Amino acid sequence: MNKLIERSELRDIWEKVDAGQRITEDDCARLYRSQDLAAIGAMANTVRERKNSNVAYYVLNRHINYSNLCILDCDFCAFYRRRRDAGAYEYNLPQMIEKAQEALQQGITEIHIVGGLHPSFKWDYYVEMLRSLKALDPKLHLKAFTAIEILHLSWVGKRSVLETLAALREAGLGSLTGGGAEIFDPEVRSVICHAKESAEEWADVHRTWHKMGGRSTCTMLIGHVEKNHHRVDHLRRLRELQDETNGFTAFVTLAFHPENTKLPHLPGPSGYDMLKTLAIARIYLDNIDHIKAYWILMGMKLAQVSLSYGVDDLDGTVIEEKIYHMAGAKTPQEVAREELVKAIREAGREPVQRDSLYRPVVQKGGGGEMRDDHGAGAPGGHALPAASACVGASNEGGAA
């Protein structure tokens, strides 16, 4: 037994983890109450290495936040604007295409697209966006829209959620992003995002997508008014949905950034809290294969450390990020592949470039070759094991 854990108050939880047994909601709450980060981290690292060996993934991607105009006004959000506000913007399709073309020249395999709930864009804008981007390269994976945006598009397009998702997939949607979950508890939602759709509506969008064969990520926003029991409840709901659909590829902990929001008095999460939550998520979410550290909002150095606290994915190159930078994030907007690889190697892990569905990208002549199954990777499929042919060694988030 790990010596850190042998003397820990958490020894009984470790025995479950070591035996590959599922821990309970009460166990999860005890992990949150404990200050023994070293023991929690050691447990998470055991699970992480069991699931993903020594591999740490990264993706070459570009984020495009197509507009910050939004009909809602979530208190935790620094991104949204009304049309006449300073800083309001929206991209037309030629602008989107230009950004994508530039990024394709850098070898990206994924575009991550989220925005506000736009007050006047018509259905055709979204469909044409996907079609035009997909036409640039049919292998390009479009990871787009939060569940909240999908509900908005369902309303804009006067279609059911199922019809909306089917039409978007036909236009090129590869997978859904995990944003909009925040904290599921209704009392917390009433404080930080009072007009946003409910937890049940968020879950229904992902459930519908998963049942269509689609994959998505899931998130939890921490460091605002939530308490530990809200986090445990949130993780429980995610684990239950994953038991039902097996459609989540990864879990991402999002750090609340208070600057320029209506909640500037709140501190946001500490580095300790981020590491602890990532580690607890790794231990508790036994049915989700990957835990992602979103370096753009937690900083590369902490993200690097998190590779020893349950995390196996540092996300990607990003290139341009607006949501967290409008909330005061001091991180760069872009990181080169070499920096991701270096950060992973320095942490003693094996870097592997992945595609959007966690399949290793096979390098040919210095470029990446990928496969895209249009996001319909069968739920339940697992990333290839660490020692496969991968070769990488050489903003889940979202506002809406």
Q: How far is the CB of 267 from ligand SF4 (least distance, A)?
A: 19
With binding defined as CB under 6 A, does residue 256 bind ligand SF4? no
Q: How far is the CB of 163 from ligand SF4 (least distance, A)?
A: 22
Among 31, 70, 188, 241, binds ligand SF4 (CB under 6 A): 70
Q: How far is the CB of 114 from ligand SF4 (least distance, A)?
A: 8
Among 79, 202, 248, 295, binds ligand SF4 (CB under 6 A): 79
Q: Tell me the β-bridge partners of 252.
A: 219, 292
With binding defined as CB under 6 A, does residue 116 bind ligand SF4? yes
Q: How far is the CB of 323 from ligand SF4 (least distance, A)?
A: 8
Q: How far is the CB of 398 from ligand SF4 (least distance, A)?
A: 7
Provide the 10 A C-beta neighbour count for residue 157: 17
Give the side-chain half-sphere CA count within 13 A for 240.
11
Residue 142 and residue 339: Cα distance in Å, rounded? Answer: 24
Q: Which is nearer to ligand SF4, 194 or 227 (CB)?
A: 194
Q: Which is nearer to ligand SF4, 262 or 371 (CB)?
A: 262
Q: How far is the CB of 261 from ligand SF4 (least distance, A)?
A: 9
With binding defined as CB under 6 A, does residue 376 bind ligand SF4? no
Among 64, 151, 344, 400, binds ligand SF4 (CB under 6 A): 400
Q: Which is nearer to ligand SF4, 383 or 400 (CB)?
A: 400
Among 117, 171, 254, 344, binds ligand SF4 (CB under 6 A): 117
With binding defined as CB under 6 A, does residue 66 bind ligand SF4? no
CA–CA distance from 325 to each of 57, 64, 299, 320, 347 (Å)?
24, 13, 12, 10, 26
With binding defined as CB under 6 A, does residue 80 bind ligand SF4? yes
With binding defined as CB under 6 A, does residue 72 bind ligand SF4? yes
Among 18, 25, 73, 137, binds ligand SF4 (CB under 6 A): 73
Give the side-chain half-sphere CA count within 13 A for 176.
34
Q: How far is the CB of 269 from ligand SF4 (least distance, A)?
A: 18
User: At a CB cut-off of 8 Å and minimum separation 6, what does 271 contact?
Assistant: 298, 302
b/e map of 309-327 (b: 16 or more CB within 10 Å)?
bbbbbbbbbbbebbbbbbb
Rg for the chain, CA atoms, rounded: 20
Residue 33 and residue 93: Cα distance in Å, rounded? Answer: 49
Q: Which two tokens stand for residue 133?
A: 């981007």
| Amino acid present at 110 | E
Q: How far is the CB of 349 from ligand SF4 (least distance, A)?
A: 33
With binding defined as CB under 6 A, does residue 156 bind ligand SF4? no
Nearest alpha-carbon partner for 58 in 249, 250, 296, 341: 341
Q: Which is nearer to ligand SF4, 70 or 171 (CB)?
A: 70
227 Rama class: left (phi>0) / alpha (psi -120 to 50) / beta: beta
CA–CA distance from 395 to each of 55, 151, 247, 346 (Å)?
21, 20, 19, 23
With binding defined as CB under 6 A, does residue 77 bind ligand SF4? yes
Q: How far is the CB of 185 from ligand SF4 (least distance, A)?
A: 17
Among the residue ranges 75-83, 156-164, 221-229, 324-332, the one whose residues contact ligand SF4 (CB under 6 A): 75-83
Kindly state the number of chain residues that form the binding site for ligand SF4, as judged by CB under 6 A: 14
Lookup result for tokens 């390269």: 137
Torsion, Cα of 215, 120, 399, 73 (10° steps): -140
Whether 128 contacts 92, CB under 8 Å: no
| Amino acid present at 318 | V
Q: Which of residues 188-217 bind ligand SF4 (CB under 6 A)?
A: 193, 196
Which residues in this chain contact ligand SF4 in the complex, by CB under 6 A?
Answer: 70, 72-74, 77, 79-80, 116-117, 148, 193, 196, 399-400
